[in-house]
Chain A
Amino acid sequence: MAVKEFSSQQQQTIDYSQVVQSASFQQLMREKRGFILPFSLFFLAFYFTLPVLTSYSTVLNTPAFGSISWAWVFAFAQFIMTWTLCMLYSKRAARFDEMVEKIKQEVKGGNV
């Protein structure tokens, strides 16, 4: 990677450890973790519930609408879940982007 931390032309180097300790970076990490961790656990659980249920039981084989069984309803729900979580993330990420912008300004201004 073309990071010239030790090159002589570049007088200032970023002290990354200081950035990590800065309040705005800590807040970004907290908010990111608060979103990504629970939602990831949720979608993994939701995803694996389908093969576990279809493999070890036949509860999903009962009809939901006409010949459409709950297994198919659950399968479609996976699509809805994916799209929904996708949109939720992009909404939330717009906020992360703002926070990143703020951190960048602080680093540039030498405030960290």
Chain B
Amino acid sequence: MHGLAFSLFLIIVALTLVITYFASKRTKTTSEFYTADSALTGWQNGLAIAGDYMSAASFLGIAGMIALVGFDGFFYSIGFLVAYLVVLYIVAEPLRNLGKYTMADMIAARFDDKKVRGVAALNTISISIFYMIAQLVGAGALIKLLLGIDYIYAVLIVGTLMTVYVVFGGMTATSWVQIVKAVLLMAGTFVISVIVFAKFDFSIVKMFNEVKTATPLKEAFLNPGNKFKNPLDTISLNLALILGTAGLPHILIRFFTVKDAPTARKSVVYATWIIGLFYVMTIFLGFGAAAFVGYDKIVAANPAGNMAAPLLAEALGGDFLFAFVSAVAFATILAVVAGLVLSAASAFAHDFYSHIIRHGQATEREQMLAARWASIGVAVLSILLALFAQKMNVAFLVALAFAVAASANLPIILLTIFWKRFNTTGAITGMLVGLISSLLLVALSPNVWAPQPGVAILVGEPIFKLANPGIVSIPLGFIAAVVGTLLSSKKADEKKFDEILVKANTGIKELTN
């Protein structure tokens, strides 16, 4: 069994390295490194967005959660999808029109201030690193389960591969790894879903009737409230899910890989279809696992339910399907971490190095070198942190990344595009308060504190009762941005706002266009 899975892993590694080899020949300029020269089509970018977004946590985690707690697991699927309406309606096109390489470019387009760029880059790096540690710890645990490779080696393998893709192939390689992964993931999930559906005679009603009694939860399985018992916490989670996506730096930089705003819009539309179809299929994965693998076996393999999908594949299709699904999970991890390295590295190299340290005077060659070294630095740092975090329950890091994205990035993106009075001070206070409040609230929350030892990181009563800080930190981010603006003596530059308004909505940049 492991032999077959191992061979498929090797095939995926070989395939991604071939992609990187060809991409590396085309990656000579910073624009090629950061944005694949903005040459992707809507379809390609749509697939790459889907590949960048559907992490192992959503593939394995949601399938497992639906298998174990029923309806509540599906909340994630809904939130992760509906969030794309925020991206499509409000963020994607202005971002493409105003930005060049990073999210900070967009805010710096309005506020020509190094502090603004610096704080925006800090947010990007924080979010990317939290998210990446979570992915790497998950990757290590998963590969250990699937292949029996030690955690340390698993993290090193994934870490090395992601560094190679980004350093040599830049955005071109990263995008194609994400595209390949998206296709594999959709194909694998589709095959399993069809088999599950066939077992229920292609009847949704029959499927629901049968899972109703299949799990230890019995009737309650199909009802909400098995996992999320605190109403405020549930709403807070939903808030972070729907508003966080539109502030995730690795998703935002994907809009710079297409040539203009209409193409950015098309890529979101394609991504929404792909991601939506995928999340519908999480029901088949979850219900299938509940019915054909069984609660006890899923929990025995991994208490969080992460093995539900691979075990389901094994139960339905034997060794080959198990190996295939494991390989897809592996490809998923590679694609997502590569995207994260790239977003953190571009914030380091483009925002900190080129703009702040070198005042925009660095040569093309220097910028390329900086981008490559930043990628290596980010990768090494995340690998080290992931090695230390092995025993930690890292689910809170993903919640944290979404909360920071929703509280620190989204308010600033929105106010930059829509609010005439908004100024530099407001942008800085908004970003910092959003970042610090979400960090602080999570540090005081049940994610970190639990009265019984072994449940969370520290033993004690949590001061902040909600696991998801969004319901407090998102309003705080908005309020701080507004209050900072109103208290500051700086007058908003109205001419500059007119310029931003025109550029964001039309893409007009120069007369020579």
Contact = CB atoms under 8 A, between A and B. Distances in A.
- SS of A interface (majority): helix
Interface string A8-19: 001011101101
Contacts of B280: 76, 79
Interface in A70-112: 71-72, 75-76, 78-79, 81-83, 85-87, 89-90, 93, 97, 100, 103-104, 107-108
Contacts of A67: 205, 208-209, 212, 222
Contacts of B74: 75
Given A16-B499, A86-B85, A71 B209 contact: no
Contacts of B460: none
B224 A60 contact: yes
Contacts of A44: 242
Contacts of B81: 78-79, 82
A90 B85 contact: no
Interface in A42-66: 43-44, 47-48, 50-52, 54-56, 58, 60-61, 65-66
A40 B265 CA distance: 16
Chain B facing A: main interface SS: helix
A29 interface: yes
A14 B511 contact: yes
Contacts of A86: 84-85, 88, 268-269, 272-273
B89 interface: yes
A93 B208 contact: no
A23 interface: no
A48 B237 CA distance: 11
Contacts of A82: 81-82, 84-85, 272, 276
Nearest to B213: A67
Interface of A: 1-4, 10, 12-14, 16-17, 19-20, 25, 28-29, 32, 36, 39-40, 43-44, 47-48, 50-52, 54-56, 58, 60-61, 65-69, 71-72, 75-76, 78-79, 81-83, 85-87, 89-90, 93, 97, 100, 103-104, 107-108
10 contacts: A4-B510, A25-B506, A32-B505, A52-B235, A54-B224, A66-B206, A68-B204, A71-B223, A75-B78, A100-B505
Given A14-B510, A55-B228, A89-B269, 20 more contacts: A3-B510, A12-B511, A14-B508, A16-B498, A16-B501, A17-B494, A28-B506, A44-B242, A51-B231, A52-B231, A52-B235, A54-B225, A56-B231, A60-B224, A61-B223, A67-B212, A76-B280, A82-B82, A93-B262, A100-B506
